[in-house]
Amino acid sequence: MDIQLRKGLLEYCVLAILRDRDSYGYQMIRDISECIEISESTLYPILRRLESAGKVTSYNTEYNNRIRKYFHLTDDGRQMLSDFKSDREQMIKVLDFISKGEKNDEESIL
């Protein structure tokens, strides 16, 4: 998938995962991997970007004598996520439009 498109979608995946409970890096990679391939080198910059934009906050907790960084969804982030849901119809429309063009291409080739 295109890098820019992927980056955008992954941002929403991260927000979606944090909707119900706070999570940390390793857990988030495992959860998101269920639907889309993600590496930690992709996730970390996204987390930091979301954090500096105020969509998520982070806090450190001690776990097994080391520090684990948990991420928490802010109201701002929650808003962004629900805005995306209303964009969904628009997105499906765009996807349909793109694949319709594809079908026409195939027909013209045949």
Partner 1 sequence: MTKKAFCKELNRALKKVKRKERAGCINQYEELISDLMENGMSEEEAVNSLGNVKDIADDLMQNMDQDKFVKRDKFLIALVTLDVILMIINIFHYLVNTLLDSIFFSESEISSIGVIGGADGPTSIFVAAKITSPSSVDAMVVAMVCAMVVTVIYVIVKKRKK
In the complex, the residues that contact partner 1 under the rule CB under 8 A are 3, 7, 24-26, 29, 39-42, 44-49, 64, 66-69
Nearer CB in complex with partner 1: 7/78: 7
Q: How far apart are CA 56 and CA 80, in angstroms?
A: 11
Nearer CB in complex with partner 1: 52/108: 52
CB atoms near residue 38 (< 10 Å): 19
Nearer CB in complex with partner 1: 66/88: 66
Query: What values do phi and psi take at 70, rounded to 5?
Result: -100, 150
